[in-house]
Structure 1
Amino acid sequence: MILASPDRRYALALEPEPESYSKWWRISCTAEDATWYAQFGGNTPVEILAGLTDALLSPAPETVPDLWPILTARGWTHVRDGRGNEVAEHPHGIMQLRRWNRSANREDSWSAVALLPNGLGGQEAVWEAHLPDVPHLVASFATALADPAPVARAEFDVPHTSLVTQKPGGRQADDLAKEHAARLARARVTAVRNRRTALTTQPVNSPTPAAPVVAGHRR
Protein backbone atom coordinates (compact mmCIF):
# COMPACT_ATOMS: atom_id res chain seq x y z
CA MET A 1 0.00 0.00 0.00
CA ILE A 2 1.33 3.42 -0.97
CA LEU A 3 -0.16 6.79 0.00
CA ALA A 4 0.95 10.07 -1.53
CA SER A 5 0.34 13.60 -0.32
CA PRO A 6 -1.80 15.83 -2.57
CA ASP A 7 1.26 17.82 -3.64
CA ARG A 8 3.24 14.60 -4.25
CA ARG A 9 5.86 15.84 -1.82
CA TYR A 10 5.58 12.86 0.57
CA ALA A 11 4.89 9.16 0.13
CA LEU A 12 4.02 6.58 2.77
CA ALA A 13 4.49 2.90 1.93
CA LEU A 14 3.37 -0.09 3.98
CA GLU A 15 5.05 -3.31 2.91
CA PRO A 16 4.50 -6.04 5.54
CA GLU A 17 7.23 -8.68 5.78
CA PRO A 18 7.01 -12.20 7.26
CA GLU A 19 9.17 -11.00 10.16
CA SER A 20 7.61 -8.22 12.24
CA TYR A 21 11.05 -6.88 13.14
CA SER A 22 11.67 -5.95 9.50
CA LYS A 23 11.07 -2.47 8.12
CA TRP A 24 7.37 -2.36 7.30
CA TRP A 25 6.77 1.38 7.07
CA ARG A 26 8.68 3.75 4.81
CA ILE A 27 8.13 7.49 4.51
CA SER A 28 9.97 9.52 1.90
CA CYS A 29 10.22 13.10 0.73
CA THR A 30 11.31 13.72 -2.84
CA ALA A 31 10.77 17.47 -3.06
CA GLU A 32 13.29 19.59 -4.92
CA ASP A 33 14.26 21.44 -1.74
CA ALA A 34 14.48 18.34 0.49
CA THR A 35 15.13 14.63 0.03
CA TRP A 36 14.93 12.20 2.93
CA TYR A 37 13.37 8.95 4.09
CA ALA A 38 12.34 7.27 7.33
CA GLN A 39 11.56 3.63 8.04
CA PHE A 40 9.93 1.78 10.93
CA GLY A 41 9.71 -1.84 12.06
CA GLY A 42 6.40 -3.68 11.99
CA ASN A 43 6.02 -3.57 15.80
CA THR A 44 6.35 0.22 15.97
CA PRO A 45 3.27 1.56 17.79
CA VAL A 46 1.13 3.52 15.36
CA GLU A 47 0.78 6.31 17.93
CA ILE A 48 4.55 6.90 17.78
CA LEU A 49 4.60 6.66 13.99
CA ALA A 50 1.78 9.23 13.90
CA GLY A 51 3.96 11.59 15.90
CA LEU A 52 6.08 11.99 12.77
CA THR A 53 3.36 11.82 10.12
CA ASP A 54 1.20 14.41 11.89
CA ALA A 55 4.08 16.87 11.68
CA LEU A 56 4.00 16.55 7.88
CA LEU A 57 0.55 18.14 7.77
CA SER A 58 1.82 21.57 8.78
CA PRO A 59 4.67 23.72 7.49
CA ALA A 60 7.96 23.43 9.34
CA PRO A 61 8.09 25.88 12.26
CA GLU A 62 10.55 28.76 12.13
CA THR A 63 12.04 27.68 15.45
CA VAL A 64 12.26 24.11 16.74
CA PRO A 65 12.39 23.36 20.48
CA ASP A 66 15.49 21.66 21.80
CA LEU A 67 14.82 17.96 21.39
CA TRP A 68 16.57 16.44 24.38
CA PRO A 69 14.58 18.32 27.09
CA ILE A 70 11.44 16.74 25.64
CA LEU A 71 12.78 13.40 26.85
CA THR A 72 14.66 14.41 29.99
CA ALA A 73 11.48 16.08 31.28
CA ARG A 74 10.00 12.55 31.33
CA GLY A 75 12.90 11.12 33.33
CA TRP A 76 15.06 9.99 30.40
CA THR A 77 18.84 10.28 30.68
CA HIS A 78 20.86 12.09 28.02
CA VAL A 79 24.54 11.44 27.32
CA ARG A 80 26.90 12.99 24.77
CA ASP A 81 30.25 11.39 24.05
CA GLY A 82 33.51 12.95 22.94
CA ARG A 83 32.70 12.44 19.27
CA GLY A 84 29.43 14.34 19.47
CA ASN A 85 27.19 11.27 19.38
CA GLU A 86 24.17 11.50 21.67
CA VAL A 87 21.75 9.01 23.21
CA ALA A 88 18.70 9.42 25.41
CA GLU A 89 17.45 6.39 27.35
CA HIS A 90 14.16 5.60 29.05
CA PRO A 91 14.46 5.35 32.87
CA HIS A 92 13.69 1.61 32.65
CA GLY A 93 16.23 1.07 29.87
CA ILE A 94 13.55 -0.14 27.43
CA MET A 95 13.80 2.67 24.88
CA GLN A 96 16.58 4.70 23.28
CA LEU A 97 16.79 7.61 20.86
CA ARG A 98 20.21 8.07 19.27
CA ARG A 99 21.90 10.70 17.14
CA TRP A 100 25.11 9.77 15.37
CA ASN A 101 27.29 12.77 14.58
CA ARG A 102 28.45 12.61 10.99
CA SER A 103 31.14 14.48 9.10
CA ALA A 104 30.54 18.00 7.87
CA ASN A 105 29.45 16.85 4.41
CA ARG A 106 26.94 14.25 5.64
CA GLU A 107 23.72 14.60 7.59
CA ASP A 108 23.45 13.26 11.13
CA SER A 109 21.82 9.86 11.55
CA TRP A 110 18.89 9.37 13.95
CA SER A 111 17.50 6.07 15.19
CA ALA A 112 15.18 4.78 17.90
CA VAL A 113 14.94 1.31 19.36
CA ALA A 114 12.64 -0.45 21.83
CA LEU A 115 14.45 -3.08 23.91
CA LEU A 116 13.36 -5.94 26.14
CA PRO A 117 15.38 -8.47 28.19
CA ASN A 118 16.09 -11.68 26.28
CA GLY A 119 16.40 -13.85 29.40
CA LEU A 120 20.13 -14.38 28.85
CA GLY A 121 21.34 -11.22 30.48
CA GLY A 122 21.10 -9.19 27.28
CA GLN A 123 18.44 -7.34 25.35
CA GLU A 124 16.60 -7.82 22.09
CA ALA A 125 15.04 -5.21 19.85
CA VAL A 126 11.24 -5.19 19.65
CA TRP A 127 11.22 -2.52 16.96
CA GLU A 128 13.58 -0.02 15.41
CA ALA A 129 13.11 3.24 13.56
CA HIS A 130 15.46 5.29 11.37
CA LEU A 131 14.62 8.97 11.13
CA PRO A 132 15.60 11.82 8.80
CA ASP A 133 17.80 14.64 10.02
CA VAL A 134 14.83 17.05 10.05
CA PRO A 135 14.65 18.69 13.49
CA HIS A 136 10.92 19.36 13.79
CA LEU A 137 10.05 15.83 12.62
CA VAL A 138 12.42 14.24 15.12
CA ALA A 139 11.02 16.50 17.86
CA SER A 140 7.45 15.42 17.06
CA PHE A 141 8.53 11.79 17.04
CA ALA A 142 10.30 12.23 20.40
CA THR A 143 7.20 13.83 21.91
CA ALA A 144 5.12 10.79 20.94
CA LEU A 145 7.91 8.44 22.06
CA ALA A 146 7.92 9.89 25.59
CA ASP A 147 4.14 10.18 25.93
CA PRO A 148 3.13 8.10 28.98
CA ALA A 149 -0.55 7.87 28.00
CA PRO A 150 -1.81 4.26 27.63
CA VAL A 151 -2.88 3.03 24.21
CA ALA A 152 -5.88 0.93 23.20
CA ARG A 153 -5.10 -2.61 22.08
CA ALA A 154 -6.87 -5.94 21.93
CA GLU A 155 -6.01 -8.21 24.85
CA PHE A 156 -3.37 -10.24 23.00
CA ASP A 157 -2.70 -7.90 20.09
CA VAL A 158 0.72 -6.83 21.40
CA PRO A 159 4.15 -8.47 21.31
CA HIS A 160 5.49 -9.86 24.60
CA THR A 161 2.12 -9.70 26.37
CA SER A 162 3.66 -11.02 29.59
CA LEU A 163 5.65 -7.79 29.90
CA VAL A 164 2.75 -5.44 29.22
CA THR A 165 0.49 -4.03 31.91
CA GLN A 166 -3.08 -4.30 30.67
CA LYS A 167 -6.17 -2.68 32.10
CA PRO A 168 -9.74 -3.13 30.88
CA GLY A 169 -10.93 -0.19 28.83
CA GLY A 170 -14.43 1.12 28.44
CA ARG A 171 -14.11 1.88 24.74
CA GLN A 172 -15.40 -0.66 22.27
CA ALA A 173 -14.34 -1.41 18.72
CA ASP A 174 -17.05 0.85 17.27
CA ASP A 175 -15.86 3.74 19.43
CA LEU A 176 -12.26 3.25 18.31
CA ALA A 177 -13.34 3.09 14.66
CA LYS A 178 -15.23 6.38 15.05
CA GLU A 179 -12.22 8.00 16.71
CA HIS A 180 -10.00 6.81 13.87
CA ALA A 181 -12.40 8.16 11.24
CA ALA A 182 -12.54 11.50 13.07
CA ARG A 183 -8.75 11.63 13.19
CA LEU A 184 -8.51 11.05 9.44
CA ALA A 185 -11.10 13.74 8.83
CA ARG A 186 -9.13 16.23 10.93
CA ALA A 187 -5.94 15.31 9.08
CA ARG A 188 -7.60 15.94 5.70
CA VAL A 189 -8.98 19.30 6.84
CA THR A 190 -5.56 20.33 8.14
CA ALA A 191 -3.83 19.29 4.93
CA VAL A 192 -6.32 21.16 2.74
CA ARG A 193 -6.17 24.28 4.92
CA ASN A 194 -2.38 24.35 4.88
CA ARG A 195 -2.30 23.82 1.13
CA ARG A 196 -4.70 26.72 0.58
CA THR A 197 -2.64 28.91 2.90
CA ALA A 198 0.52 28.05 1.01
CA LEU A 199 -1.11 28.90 -2.32
CA THR A 200 -2.53 32.23 -1.13
CA THR A 201 0.72 33.34 0.52
CA GLN A 202 2.96 32.61 -2.43
CA PRO A 203 4.37 35.81 -3.96
CA VAL A 204 2.75 36.80 -7.21
CA ASN A 205 5.14 37.92 -9.87
CA SER A 206 3.79 41.04 -11.54
CA PRO A 207 3.88 40.85 -15.32
CA THR A 208 6.53 42.96 -16.99
CA PRO A 209 4.87 46.20 -18.10
CA ALA A 210 4.70 46.70 -21.81
CA ALA A 211 7.00 49.30 -23.27
CA PRO A 212 5.21 52.57 -24.01
CA VAL A 213 4.34 53.21 -27.63
CA VAL A 214 5.72 56.47 -28.94
CA ALA A 215 3.63 58.00 -31.65
CA GLY A 216 5.56 59.33 -34.61
CA HIS A 217 5.10 62.80 -36.10
CA ARG A 218 2.47 63.07 -38.77
CA ARG A 219 3.55 64.42 -42.07
Structure 2
Amino acid sequence: MRGKQWQGLGPGEQAEQHYLIEPRALAGGGDLRHVSEFLRASGWRDKSKSGGPLFLESPDRTVRVAYDPYVLPGGWTIHGKAAGHQDEWRVNLGRQTPVEIVAGLTDALTRPLSAHALNVWAPLQEQHWRTPPNAEHVTAVSPDGSAWMQFHQDPNGEAMWWSGAKDQQGNGWTASFTATTPMHLVQAFSTALASPEPVMRPRGRVPHSGQIRTTSVSVLPSQLSAWQQARITAARAATWARNSWAASRPRTTTRPHAHASGTRARR
Protein backbone atom coordinates (compact mmCIF):
# COMPACT_ATOMS: atom_id res chain seq x y z
CA MET A 1 0.00 0.00 0.00
CA ARG A 2 2.77 2.39 -0.96
CA GLY A 3 1.65 6.02 -0.98
CA LYS A 4 1.70 8.31 -3.99
CA GLN A 5 1.99 12.07 -4.24
CA TRP A 6 -1.27 13.92 -4.75
CA GLN A 7 -1.68 15.64 -8.10
CA GLY A 8 -4.31 18.11 -9.27
CA LEU A 9 -5.90 18.15 -12.70
CA GLY A 10 -4.71 21.63 -13.62
CA PRO A 11 -6.42 23.82 -16.25
CA GLY A 12 -9.98 22.90 -17.13
CA GLU A 13 -10.56 20.98 -13.91
CA GLN A 14 -14.01 20.80 -12.39
CA ALA A 15 -14.97 21.30 -8.77
CA GLU A 16 -15.81 18.17 -6.82
CA GLN A 17 -18.31 17.88 -4.00
CA HIS A 18 -16.90 17.21 -0.55
CA TYR A 19 -18.40 17.38 2.92
CA LEU A 20 -17.16 18.88 6.15
CA ILE A 21 -18.13 16.47 8.93
CA GLU A 22 -18.73 17.13 12.62
CA PRO A 23 -17.96 15.65 15.05
CA ARG A 24 -14.69 14.48 13.54
CA ALA A 25 -14.63 11.29 15.63
CA LEU A 26 -17.54 9.91 13.57
CA ALA A 27 -16.17 10.89 10.14
CA GLY A 28 -14.86 7.44 9.19
CA GLY A 29 -11.32 6.39 8.31
CA GLY A 30 -10.37 8.72 5.47
CA ASP A 31 -7.31 8.74 3.19
CA LEU A 32 -4.34 6.83 4.66
CA ARG A 33 -1.92 9.13 2.84
CA HIS A 34 -2.76 11.83 5.37
CA VAL A 35 -0.70 9.75 7.81
CA SER A 36 1.77 7.92 5.58
CA GLU A 37 2.93 10.81 3.37
CA PHE A 38 3.71 12.98 6.38
CA LEU A 39 5.83 10.24 7.92
CA ARG A 40 7.65 9.59 4.64
CA ALA A 41 8.36 13.31 4.28
CA SER A 42 9.71 13.23 7.83
CA GLY A 43 12.33 10.66 6.89
CA TRP A 44 10.50 7.48 7.81
CA ARG A 45 11.23 4.37 5.75
CA ASP A 46 8.31 2.97 3.77
CA LYS A 47 8.70 -0.79 4.08
CA SER A 48 5.29 -1.65 2.65
CA LYS A 49 5.09 -4.45 0.13
CA SER A 50 3.22 -3.87 -3.11
CA GLY A 51 -0.44 -4.70 -2.59
CA GLY A 52 0.16 -5.41 1.10
CA PRO A 53 -0.41 -3.57 4.36
CA LEU A 54 1.04 -0.14 5.01
CA PHE A 55 4.26 -0.39 7.04
CA LEU A 56 6.57 2.47 8.00
CA GLU A 57 9.59 2.59 10.29
CA SER A 58 11.14 5.56 12.10
CA PRO A 59 14.63 6.72 11.09
CA ASP A 60 16.11 5.24 14.28
CA ARG A 61 14.13 2.00 13.80
CA THR A 62 12.57 2.18 17.26
CA VAL A 63 8.95 2.83 16.17
CA ARG A 64 6.80 1.14 13.55
CA VAL A 65 3.46 2.29 12.19
CA ALA A 66 1.30 -0.21 10.32
CA TYR A 67 -2.18 -0.30 8.85
CA ASP A 68 -3.60 -3.69 7.88
CA PRO A 69 -7.14 -3.90 6.46
CA TYR A 70 -6.74 -7.55 5.46
CA VAL A 71 -7.12 -9.07 8.94
CA LEU A 72 -9.89 -8.88 11.51
CA PRO A 73 -10.54 -6.56 13.18
CA GLY A 74 -7.87 -4.71 11.19
CA GLY A 75 -6.69 -1.17 11.64
CA TRP A 76 -3.63 0.69 12.92
CA THR A 77 -0.83 -0.69 15.06
CA ILE A 78 1.87 1.62 16.41
CA HIS A 79 4.67 -0.14 18.23
CA GLY A 80 7.64 1.31 20.06
CA LYS A 81 10.65 -0.74 21.11
CA ALA A 82 12.16 -0.47 24.55
CA ALA A 83 14.92 2.17 24.48
CA GLY A 84 16.81 3.72 27.37
CA HIS A 85 14.34 4.51 30.15
CA GLN A 86 11.35 3.94 27.84
CA ASP A 87 9.64 0.55 28.06
CA GLU A 88 8.13 -1.15 25.04
CA TRP A 89 4.72 0.26 24.15
CA ARG A 90 1.86 -0.33 21.73
CA VAL A 91 -1.20 1.49 20.42
CA ASN A 92 -4.03 -0.17 18.48
CA LEU A 93 -6.64 1.88 16.63
CA GLY A 94 -9.66 0.54 14.76
CA ARG A 95 -9.86 0.89 10.99
CA GLN A 96 -12.61 3.53 11.23
CA THR A 97 -10.46 5.83 13.37
CA PRO A 98 -10.32 9.09 11.38
CA VAL A 99 -6.87 9.59 9.87
CA GLU A 100 -6.81 13.13 11.26
CA ILE A 101 -6.98 11.68 14.78
CA VAL A 102 -4.40 9.00 13.99
CA ALA A 103 -2.15 11.72 12.61
CA GLY A 104 -2.42 13.63 15.87
CA LEU A 105 -0.42 10.80 17.40
CA THR A 106 1.83 9.84 14.49
CA ASP A 107 2.79 13.45 13.69
CA ALA A 108 3.94 13.77 17.29
CA LEU A 109 6.35 10.88 16.69
CA THR A 110 8.32 13.16 14.35
CA ARG A 111 8.65 16.09 16.76
CA PRO A 112 11.01 16.61 19.69
CA LEU A 113 9.55 16.37 23.18
CA SER A 114 7.96 19.53 24.54
CA ALA A 115 9.18 21.02 27.80
CA HIS A 116 5.59 21.77 28.86
CA ALA A 117 3.90 19.70 31.55
CA LEU A 118 1.78 16.87 30.16
CA ASN A 119 -1.94 16.52 30.86
CA VAL A 120 -3.98 14.12 28.74
CA TRP A 121 -7.25 15.48 30.12
CA ALA A 122 -6.56 19.18 29.49
CA PRO A 123 -7.49 19.20 25.75
CA LEU A 124 -10.74 17.41 26.60
CA GLN A 125 -11.63 19.80 29.42
CA GLU A 126 -10.97 22.78 27.15
CA GLN A 127 -13.62 21.43 24.77
CA HIS A 128 -16.10 20.88 27.62
CA TRP A 129 -15.92 17.12 27.79
CA ARG A 130 -17.66 15.92 30.94
CA THR A 131 -16.74 13.40 33.61
CA PRO A 132 -19.62 11.02 34.40
CA PRO A 133 -20.16 11.15 38.19
CA ASN A 134 -20.67 7.41 38.64
CA ALA A 135 -18.04 6.14 36.21
CA GLU A 136 -16.10 3.13 37.46
CA HIS A 137 -12.89 4.43 35.89
CA VAL A 138 -11.49 7.90 35.21
CA THR A 139 -13.45 8.89 32.11
CA ALA A 140 -14.13 11.91 29.91
CA VAL A 141 -17.05 11.95 27.45
CA SER A 142 -17.64 14.37 24.57
CA PRO A 143 -20.54 16.83 24.88
CA ASP A 144 -22.68 14.81 22.46
CA GLY A 145 -21.79 11.51 24.13
CA SER A 146 -20.35 9.93 20.99
CA ALA A 147 -16.67 9.79 22.01
CA TRP A 148 -14.77 8.97 25.17
CA MET A 149 -11.34 8.78 26.77
CA GLN A 150 -10.69 6.52 29.74
CA PHE A 151 -7.89 5.34 31.99
CA HIS A 152 -8.49 2.08 33.82
CA GLN A 153 -7.13 -1.27 34.88
CA ASP A 154 -8.31 -4.50 33.30
CA PRO A 155 -9.30 -7.57 35.38
CA ASN A 156 -5.66 -8.68 35.36
CA GLY A 157 -4.53 -5.42 36.93
CA GLU A 158 -2.93 -4.10 33.74
CA ALA A 159 -3.34 -0.35 33.38
CA MET A 160 -4.25 1.09 29.99
CA TRP A 161 -5.78 4.02 28.17
CA TRP A 162 -8.93 3.31 26.19
CA SER A 163 -10.73 5.59 23.77
CA GLY A 164 -13.16 5.50 20.89
CA ALA A 165 -16.36 6.76 19.35
CA LYS A 166 -19.71 5.20 18.51
CA ASP A 167 -22.96 6.48 17.02
CA GLN A 168 -26.48 5.36 17.92
CA GLN A 169 -26.35 2.67 15.21
CA GLY A 170 -23.29 1.12 16.83
CA ASN A 171 -20.84 2.23 14.13
CA GLY A 172 -17.48 3.45 15.33
CA TRP A 173 -14.03 2.50 16.51
CA THR A 174 -11.92 1.95 19.60
CA ALA A 175 -8.31 2.64 20.50
CA SER A 176 -6.16 1.12 23.22
CA PHE A 177 -2.82 2.31 24.61
CA THR A 178 -0.55 0.34 26.89
CA ALA A 179 0.26 2.10 30.14
CA THR A 180 3.85 2.44 28.92
CA THR A 181 2.84 4.57 25.92
CA PRO A 182 4.71 7.90 26.20
CA MET A 183 2.38 10.47 27.72
CA HIS A 184 3.09 13.11 25.09
CA LEU A 185 1.71 10.73 22.46
CA VAL A 186 -1.45 10.06 24.46
CA GLN A 187 -1.93 13.81 24.90
CA ALA A 188 -1.36 14.41 21.18
CA PHE A 189 -4.08 11.85 20.50
CA SER A 190 -6.52 13.40 22.98
CA THR A 191 -5.87 16.84 21.46
CA ALA A 192 -6.74 15.58 17.97
CA LEU A 193 -9.74 13.67 19.31
CA ALA A 194 -11.20 16.69 21.08
CA SER A 195 -10.55 19.20 18.29
CA PRO A 196 -13.77 20.95 17.24
CA GLU A 197 -12.46 21.39 13.68
CA PRO A 198 -14.48 19.39 11.13
CA VAL A 199 -12.75 17.01 8.75
CA MET A 200 -13.43 16.67 5.03
CA ARG A 201 -14.58 13.60 3.13
CA PRO A 202 -15.42 13.22 -0.57
CA ARG A 203 -18.89 12.38 -1.77
CA GLY A 204 -19.53 8.67 -1.32
CA ARG A 205 -17.28 8.47 1.76
CA VAL A 206 -19.64 10.11 4.23
CA PRO A 207 -20.79 7.73 6.99
CA HIS A 208 -24.49 6.97 7.27
CA SER A 209 -25.06 8.30 10.76
CA GLY A 210 -27.77 10.39 12.31
CA GLN A 211 -25.26 11.92 14.73
CA ILE A 212 -23.04 13.71 12.22
CA ARG A 213 -23.48 17.20 10.81
CA THR A 214 -22.37 17.82 7.25
CA THR A 215 -21.65 20.95 5.24
CA SER A 216 -21.37 20.59 1.47
CA VAL A 217 -18.37 22.32 -0.14
CA SER A 218 -17.07 22.44 -3.70
CA VAL A 219 -13.33 21.83 -4.00
CA LEU A 220 -11.07 21.95 -7.04
CA PRO A 221 -8.68 18.98 -7.28
CA SER A 222 -5.78 21.44 -7.46
CA GLN A 223 -6.94 23.07 -4.22
CA LEU A 224 -7.12 19.72 -2.48
CA SER A 225 -3.70 18.80 -3.82
CA ALA A 226 -2.23 22.11 -2.64
CA TRP A 227 -3.59 21.65 0.89
CA GLN A 228 -2.24 18.14 1.08
CA GLN A 229 1.11 19.10 -0.44
CA ALA A 230 1.48 21.93 2.08
CA ARG A 231 1.36 19.37 4.88
CA ILE A 232 4.11 17.32 3.20
CA THR A 233 6.23 20.42 2.59
CA ALA A 234 5.92 21.39 6.25
CA ALA A 235 7.11 17.93 7.29
CA ARG A 236 10.12 18.13 4.97
CA ALA A 237 11.03 21.60 6.20
CA ALA A 238 10.83 20.54 9.84
CA THR A 239 12.94 17.45 9.14
CA TRP A 240 15.56 19.51 7.30
CA ALA A 241 15.71 22.01 10.16
CA ARG A 242 16.16 19.27 12.76
CA ASN A 243 18.84 17.51 10.74
CA SER A 244 20.69 20.77 10.07
CA TRP A 245 20.62 21.71 13.74
CA ALA A 246 21.86 18.26 14.76
CA ALA A 247 24.69 18.42 12.22
CA SER A 248 25.78 21.87 13.40
CA ARG A 249 25.79 21.09 17.12
CA PRO A 250 29.27 21.40 18.64
CA ARG A 251 30.76 18.17 19.87
CA THR A 252 30.71 18.03 23.66
CA THR A 253 32.44 14.71 24.17
CA THR A 254 35.95 14.85 25.55
CA ARG A 255 38.63 14.08 23.03
CA PRO A 256 40.57 10.89 23.79
CA HIS A 257 43.85 12.80 24.15
CA ALA A 258 42.48 15.57 26.35
CA HIS A 259 43.61 15.70 29.98
CA ALA A 260 41.10 16.16 32.73
CA SER A 261 43.31 18.83 34.29
CA GLY A 262 43.64 20.88 31.14
CA THR A 263 42.17 24.38 31.39
CA ARG A 264 43.30 26.00 28.17
CA ALA A 265 41.05 25.87 25.13
CA ARG A 266 42.32 25.80 21.60
CA ARG A 267 40.96 28.43 19.22
Is 2:78 the partner of 1:30?
no
For residue 175 of structure 1, report the CA deviation from its aligned partner: 1.9
What is the 5 A alignment of 1:9-24?
A: 9-17=62-70, 22-24=73-75
What is the 5 A alignment of 1:86-165?
A: 86-101=138-153, 108-118=159-169, 124=170, 126-132=172-178, 133-165=181-213
Which amino acid counterpart does residue 160 of structure 2 have in structure 1? Answer: S
Please give the alpha-carbon distance, in whole angstroms, between the structure 1 residues aligned to 2:57 and 2:231: 18
For residue 18 of structure 1, report the CA deviation from its aligned partner: 6.4
Aligned to 2:256: 208
Identify if the C-alpha distance between structure 1 residues 210 and 166 changes in structure 2 by more than 3 Å, giving closer, same or farther: closer
Please give the alpha-carbon distance, in whole angstroms, between the structure 2 residues aligned to 1:146 and 1:44: 13
TM-score (norm 1): 0.78
Q: Is the 8 A contact 1:112 1:129 kept in 2?
A: yes
Structure ranking higher on relative contact order (CA contacts 8 Å, 6+ apart): 2
Q: Is the 8 A contact 2:168 2:211 kept in 1?
A: no
Q: Is the 8 A contact 2:67 2:74 kept in 1?
A: no
Identify if the C-alpha distance between structure 1 residues 127 and 82 changes in structure 2 by more than 3 Å, giving closer, same or farther: closer
Aligned to 2:224: 176
Aligned to 1:62: 115
For residue 3 of structure 1, report the CA deviation from its aligned partner: 1.1
For residue 158 of structure 1, report the CA deviation from its aligned partner: 2.9
Aligned to 1:167: 215
RMSD: 2.9
Q: Is the 8 A contact 1:80 1:87 kept in 2?
A: no
- Counterpart of 1:48 in 2: which secondary structure? helix
Is 2:108 the partner of 1:47?
no
Superposed CA deviations along residues 97-134 of structure 1, whole A, max 9, x for unmatched, are 011158xxx8731111101113xxxxx35111112432
Identify if the C-alpha distance between structure 1 residues 177 and 183 changes in structure 2 by more than 3 Å, giving closer, same or farther: same
Identify if the C-alpha distance between structure 1 residues 204 and 79 changes in structure 2 by more than 3 Å, giving closer, same or farther: farther
Q: Which moved more, 1:132-141 or 1:165-174?
A: 165-174
Identify if the C-alpha distance between structure 1 residues 47 and 202 changes in structure 2 by more than 3 Å, giving closer, same or farther: farther
TM-score (norm 2): 0.65
Determine which structure has more spread, i.e. the larger CA radius of gyration. 1
Please give the alpha-carbon distance, in whole angstroms, between the structure 1 residues aligned to 2:171 and 2:164: 7
For residue 200 of structure 1, report the CA deviation from its aligned partner: 5.0
Give % identity: 29
For residue 147 of structure 1, report the CA deviation from its aligned partner: 0.8
